[in-house]
Structure formats: structure tokens, C-alpha cells
Structure 1
Amino acid sequence: MDFFKFLKISFDALAWPIFALGYPLVASIRAIETNSDSDCRKLVTYWVLFSLISLFEHAFMGLLKWVLGWDYVKLMIVCWLMIPRFDGAFHVYNNFVHPCLSIDLQTIINCFIKLKDLFAKKENFLTEADKYVKENGSEALEKLISAKVLLV
């Protein structure tokens, strides 16, 4: 029984570094030495996604510690991204990361402007409601709200 506990502890401690760092490192060195453009492209894609996963994990570590088995989920994701037969990294990059990078900067700016306008309208509503209460009293506002609720 102790042997199985030792195996589990060893797997937990060694699986992530071997699968996420060891194998891709060896494959990267091999791709550089053989001067293979397709392998280099796939491995660079893997390293980009690996860094995004690491950034995500760092940013949301407080939430992820509550997810049961996050380490195993992360290990499965990394294995899927790394195994050449699946080309998972290339697939994820082409379908998710690249479309996000090709978004026009002006489109993003326009989205933020629309959000700012939306919040400005909310503040204007609160300001107008405050003015109405000062002019007519809170009872008048309550009557107005209840009349509108009955109409709907």
C-alpha cells in the first residue's frame, strides 16, 4: 500500500514537469537541430499556449485552488496540446488565439466607448432620480414607480 502512495506522490510531482516542460523542451531542441519549419511552428505554438495557460493559472489561482483536480485537468490539457498526433496547440491557436489577435484595435476602443456611455446613462438616471426626489419627495417617486409597474 505504501508503494502505491509513493507512486501517486511521484506521479503528482513529476508528471507536470515531464509532460509540460521536459518533452516539449527535447522536441524543441530536436526541431532546432533538424531545421524543421513545421516542427518549429508547432512547438512555438505550444509554447505560446503554455505561457497563456500559465498566465491564466497565475491570475486565477485563488479560484482554481477550489476546483477539484485542477492539476490533473491542466495536465490533460497540456498533454493534448503537446502530443504531435493531435496537433492540439495548432488547433487551439488557429481557432481561438489568432482570431482574438486579428481584432481591429478601433473595434475594441468602440466597445469600451459604448460601455462608458452605458455607465454614464446609469449615472444620469440616478442623478435624475435624485433631482426628482428633491423636487417632489420620495412618496411621489414611489407612486410613479408603482404606477409604471402596474402598467407593465
Structure 2
Amino acid sequence: MGLLATIARHLDTLVGPGVMLVFPLYASMIALEGSTSEDDQQWLTYWVLYSFITLFELSCWKVLQWLPFWPYLKLLFCMWLVLPGINGASYIYANIARKYVNVGGRVSSKYPEGQRKVLQMMSLDARRSVESYIEKYGPEAFDRVVKATGRYFGSK
């Protein structure tokens, strides 16, 4: 029983580096070599969240040292972030970060106000595609597309 108790007490030290660093590092390298952006999003988001956790730990270490459950809580959270099939990091990106963090929210003032509003609602990749469409076919073509989709979705 002494060995099992010791393993249980140090589970975060034994499993933590593999779950929080080795597996994500390996998966990130695979994602870099892959052709889809889905896994890139998962692992970029993981590393951002892991950085926030690390900064939190560095800032609050005096309080956290008094909480014996903190290492296990961190391990469980990181497992949720990285486990295949769960992909908690992608979940956080899609449901929290994308809603509240507006990266690249500023749209050039060269577009009319209506087009700027539409462009601001798009992801950065979609915005780049639409801006190249506008450059190629002109702002009137984009207006026609917006009006056509408005009719399709029941707007005026």
C-alpha cells in the first residue's frame, strides 16, 4: 500500500509532463505537417491556454502552494484540453475565445459602412478572401452577394 500511496501522491509529477508537454508537443508537430487547420487551431489554442495557466501559477504561487489539490486540478484540466476526441482547447476557442476576443477586428475605412459591418463579423481568413474578392470584382459585386444572401436567409 505504501507504493500505491506514493504513486497517487505524486501522480501529477509522474503523468503531468507527458500529458501537459510531451503529448501536446508531439501532436503540435504532427499538426504542423498536416494539411488541415482544424488540428492547428486545437494545438495553438492549447499552448495559449497552457501559457495562461503557467502565468497564473507564477503570479499566484504563494496562494497555490497552500492548495494541495491544485496540481491535480491542473492535470485534470490539461487532460481535458488535450485528450483526442474531447479537444477541450478547440471547445474553449470556439465557445469562449472567438466570442470575446476580437483579433483583427479593425476593418479598413476604404469600405462603405455596410461592407465594414459584414467584414467585421467574419473570421480573419474569410475576411481576407472577401477583401481579395472585392479587389478582383469590385465593391458592387460584393454588395450583390450580400443582398442575395440576405434574400436567401429571409432578410430584406
- Give the TM-score normalised by structure 1: 0.58
Aligned to 2:4: 4
Amino acid corresponding to residue 22 of structure 2 in structure 1:
G
Q: Is the 8 A contact 1:46 1:81 kept in 2?
A: yes
What CA deviation, in whole Å up to 9, does each residue of 1:108-150 have, x standing for no partner? xxxxxxxxxxxxxxxxxxxxxxxxxxxxxxxxxxxxxxxxxxx
Consecutive unaligned residues in structure 2, runs of 5 or more? 106-156
Aligned to 1:23: 23
What CA deviation, in whole Å up to 9, does each residue of 1:38-87 have, x standing for no partner? 11121111111111111111111111122231000000000001112112
Q: What secondary structure is seen at the aligned counterpart in 1 of 2:68? A: coil
d(CA) in 2 for partners of 1:79, 1:40:
18
Aligned to 2:59: 59
Aligned to 2:91: 91
Amino acid corresponding to residue 63 of structure 1 in structure 2:
V
- Give the TM-score normalised by structure 2: 0.57
Normalized per residue, the structure richer in helix is: 1
- Identify if the C-alpha distance between structure 1 residues 9 and 66 changes in structure 2 by more than 3 Å, giving closer, same or farther: closer
Larger radius of gyration: 1
d(CA) in 1 for partners of 2:66, 2:10:
23
Q: Is the 8 A contact 1:49 1:93 kept in 2?
A: no
User: For 1:102-121, what aligned pairs fall within 5 Å after superposition?
Assistant: 102=102
d(CA) in 1 for partners of 2:98, 2:66:
30
Structure with more relative contact order (C-alpha pairs < 8 Å, separation 6 or more): 1
How big is the alpha-carbon RMSD for the aligned residues of Structure 1 and Structure 2? 2.4
Q: Is the 8 A contact 2:45 2:89 kept in 1?
A: yes
Q: Aligned pairs, how many?
A: 105
- Identify if the C-alpha distance between structure 1 residues 9 and 73 changes in structure 2 by more than 3 Å, giving closer, same or farther: closer
Kindly state the Cα deviation for residue 9 of structure 1 after the two structures are TM-superposed.
5.7
Kindly state the Cα deviation for residue 94 of structure 1 after the two structures are TM-superposed.
3.1
Aligned to 2:113: none
Amino acid corresponding to residue 73 of structure 2 in structure 1:
V
Kindly state the Cα deviation for residue 29 of structure 1 after the two structures are TM-superposed.
1.5
Percent identical among aligned pairs is 34
Consecutive unaligned residues in structure 1, runs of 5 or more? 105-152
d(CA) in 2 for partners of 1:33, 1:7:
36
Aligned to 1:123: none
Amino acid corresponding to residue 102 of structure 2 in structure 1:
S
Whether 1:74 and 2:87 are equivalent positions in the alignment is: no
d(CA) in 2 for partners of 1:65, 1:102:
35
